[in-house]
Structure 1
């Protein structure tokens, strides 16, 4: 502070408060040190959360945005620190969540001189922050740039980047902006729009839906606040409901017409639903697994989305309705004609849902070498607290989450879906816990992702957990010593055998490491101990790592009919493995028999 002037770095902190930012994730460095000094002077408002790596900090910011609905904020220094942010920012871009990155830069006087750690950050961030990336070149520019970054992030649901040269951070800014040409005055304000559908679009949509006899709903994250409306429309139409991976947490999967997740890692019921429907209603989803949609021309389709860019993007829809999901469905419901609960289609859907639940129970009960990973996640349903927060990493664990975990109402679960970035599980879980330290967290992680960065973020937990009202932070590590999803992809998409040099992972004692850090470590090596492991974990007075020693050969077979087309490729790849592939072939044949 200097008289009636304010350091730009301190103004940044004040502006973060004005935008309601509770914490900033990041890692320090000389390029961002003035801002770090301002955070120190702010005495925890907002708080600073130090990750072990800038990529993890960016993933934490994404996790914060997903669990809270607010803007996630991340900061880093220039050069390598800035480069490390890219993966997390792309996660925000592809899953459409608001994140603002405040990135340090060398002094303006040296830019263009090939100075140490000098990177053209405008070029670096030009794709990932296409909606807004700006370098601040003067103190007077700071207010409008920061406010536009936040407004754009919220409006476009995307990452935005503000590059802050070191000398600009240390410059002073008048308390009151000058009222003169060349000075833009800004305010930290944004209001969401209430997007109401056009009556003509609604009438056209209702006409398509009334004419259908076998209706399916595909529900995505855009229906986050429309669960009741989705259910009312589905029940009225006698429709089956499937969800995208991002839509799964916002739908009640216990319902008799809930067919589970759609796509490559989806369920037999979802595959059947999409193959046999004659009408499709897409609500708030832009799921990219187009081969699992109905074949083009086999079903008439209506799509509801708040973003007009998504209408007709993945499927040749007959009617696109732009509007808020809940409001659109409320207005659409009275236009849908007679209630169809007595039609034969709902009964056929319910049969397929029952069949799927029998299949998943059977798969979870099968013996494995030594523990069946599907059983570990399936049994979590008996123990997960109703107030839990769930984070999911990328890999085979995503399949078992999608197919087996039935989230209690109100329990959110998030993962890196469209980017599918390994290593997101622990950063997401930490962000969730920091927002709600009174609720238990369950992080579902594979050993590949755990070795990538999860082990390091356990170190971050050692600093954080003693402050939490509820100390429970349960990390399940599926330890199979293999990058299992990619192993199955090598067989599926290439018809190649498992390549041990690329797939085998070094041995690591996850439970012992957790104990060394002061957590509770549980090594699970027998199916008989699955329930007791979950019970111990949720009764613990500190974070827990469950190291489940699981079978690497559990097949990742897509649901039929899509999965049927993959079988020969799977078998060709496994056949080249000789006796080493015998166990995988047996398990694959068992799962294929389930589907027929």
Structure 2
């Protein structure tokens, strides 16, 4: 009979899991051996378990399929948690397998004994320990089923002695049932759209893969399109209907469109910053998750279902508008692009980070762009122009630094072209996964926005009226660090050298690190500030200008 370890691996393979990220350890050695003997699944050895969970999370975000990561008992599995919280909050289906001491040692305060079920209770939609080998087949099936159907993290804790025992397989369908919905209020939605003079479509992560339908819908009703962070890249930023992002990372034309709208159509988004959303207007909301409906704003008409299904049903029924709102927004968008271009074409030193992001977007027009958290999120969201042919990945809801490099490794197993935009702070947290990229010949391209600062924290301190403190970073030479691993590295300080460096990186078939030295004083200004934020920001700039003269 197959062992519990073999049943777990076999069921993962049956579910379509192609690889499992992790680090070996004595409590999962039976699982490692089962992976070794199964030729249909690949083991990817990372250098830190956090990297394993980030890689699995990003792969799941891109494919929508279940991925897997693992850690040994005690400290190894604890390290998984940050990346798993990223998966939880971005609704990525990930199965986490954690080792455990022998079952007869549980409760003995044994070496590396940690109550993993208790620890993982908040992060997981399904969370169990395998205590009976005859139940193992059902539990791994259930873990996969729950991760898929609830788009979240499933966790199984595996005592090492149980992994070695004979188990029983569980034969059941691994695909959750498909749900279809009727839309009894579609006439009301059609009425609201037809009478609207200035409709706005706002898209989020639930619209990925539906660019053609969204394009047809927005054109027909004349609506400008704005996007939450997870909606970036669904349509091209150069599309005349696309006004850009919204929120602290957003654009001025998006703010203006929302200020003028009389109907907001929310498609697959649960955007949290409600202060950026209009008040006193009709709202149509479509989301596959019923709990998202009305969570942020009160919807006039609510639709629980898939965005593509809704658009397919409503498109033939709404009238073609002659006076298109997005056309009236044309001047606003052109002014905004011109405003952005001032920084993007600035040839001064130190280099402007906006210029680095924009120049990269001219070359990397397809594939995956993994954007880390910090000031780099702003440059990636605002200045890296989406072509409509890329997939963008962020730690959108957790906002964790360090996702860039391990996330790029995970993405590289499903996409040929992968670019990571990372700040120097986030890069230093997980840069050891460059070793993973080299070991497995993953041709990821990593661009470090190196300003020797925790730049976003610096800005937040200024806005809150505090002096800059505790944010200076001591950095090694990142290009030489890459070379020590066996990866090509280039440092660029002069903006004149940037295009040739980007060209060399894009043409390389190997992993590559571009260390871009950028201006530490470039502020990631939001498109609009509250009065208090504006006041504090002005005061901070005023103090900054006064202090040198006082010292002199």
Q: TM-score, normalised by structure 1?
A: 0.89
**Residues 394/237 of structure 1: CA separation in 2 closer, same or farther (3 Å cut):** same
Q: Does 1:284 align with 2:280?
A: no
**Residues 197/553 of structure 1: CA separation in 2 closer, same or farther (3 Å cut):** farther
Q: Does 1:38 align with 2:8?
A: no
Show CA shifts across 1:524-565 (max 9, x none): 1011111111111112242211111100111111102x3666
- Gap regions ≥5 residues in structure 2: none
Q: How does 1:310-321 map to 2 (within 5 A)?
A: 310-321=292-303
Q: Which runs of 4+ in 1 moved over 6 A?
A: none
Residue 467 of structure 2: aligned partner: 497
Residue 487 of structure 2: aligned partner: 519
- Alpha-carbon deviation of 1:30? 1.5
Q: Does 1:395 align with 2:370?
A: no
Note if contact 2:266-2:286 (Cα within 8 Å) is conserved in structure 1.
yes
Residue 83 of structure 1: aligned partner: 78
- Gap regions ≥5 residues in structure 1: 178-184, 583-596
Q: Does 1:16 align with 2:1?
A: no
Note if contact 2:349-2:495 (Cα within 8 Å) is conserved in structure 1.
no
Return 565-574 or 105-114, whichever deviates more. 565-574
Give the Cα separation in 1 of the matches to 2:67 and 2:273: 28
Note if contact 2:425-2:453 (Cα within 8 Å) is conserved in structure 1.
yes
- Alpha-carbon deviation of 1:270? 1.1
Show CA shifts across 1:219-271 (max 9, x none): 01101132122112211211111001101122222211200111111111111
Q: How does 1:50-449 map to 2 (within 5 A)?
A: 50-129=45-124, 131-174=125-168, 185-198=170-183, 200-294=184-278, 296-297=279-280, 299-336=281-318, 338-343=319-324, 345-386=325-366, 388-436=367-415, 439-449=416-426
Give the Cα separation in 2 of the matches to 1:124 and 1:191: 27
**Residues 581/228 of structure 1: CA separation in 2 closer, same or farther (3 Å cut):** farther
Residue 479 of structure 1: aligned partner: 450
Give the Cα separation in 1 of the matches to 2:263 and 2:429: 43
- Alpha-carbon deviation of 1:566? 2.6
- Alpha-carbon deviation of 1:39? 1.2
- Alpha-carbon deviation of 1:513? 1.3
SS at match of 1:225: coil
Show CA shifts across 1:463-484 (max 9, x none): 111xx6xxx4211001100000
Note if contact 1:496-1:572 (Cα within 8 Å) is conserved in structure 2.
no
Alignment counterpart, residue 542 of structure 2, candidates 553, 567, 575: 575
Note if contact 2:492-2:498 (Cα within 8 Å) is conserved in structure 1.
yes
Give the Cα separation in 2 of the matches to 1:308 and 1:431: 30
Note if contact 2:347-2:496 (Cα within 8 Å) is conserved in structure 1.
no
Residue 589 of structure 1: aligned partner: none
Note if contact 1:269-1:356 (Cα within 8 Å) is conserved in structure 2.
yes
Return 11-20 or 407-416, whichever deviates more. 407-416
Give the Cα separation in 2 of the matches to 1:209 and 1:187: 44
Give the Cα separation in 2 of the matches to 1:97 and 1:151: 13
Give the Cα separation in 2 of the matches to 1:348 and 1:581: 46
SS at match of 1:382: helix
SS at match of 2:489: strand
Residue 593 of structure 1: aligned partner: none
Q: Matched residue pairs, number?
A: 549
Q: TM-score, normalised by structure 2?
A: 0.96
Note if contact 1:389-1:411 (Cα within 8 Å) is conserved in structure 2.
yes
Give the Cα separation in 1 of the matches to 2:548 and 2:30: 57
Note if contact 1:280-1:300 (Cα within 8 Å) is conserved in structure 2.
yes
**Residues 114/576 of structure 1: CA separation in 2 closer, same or farther (3 Å cut):** farther
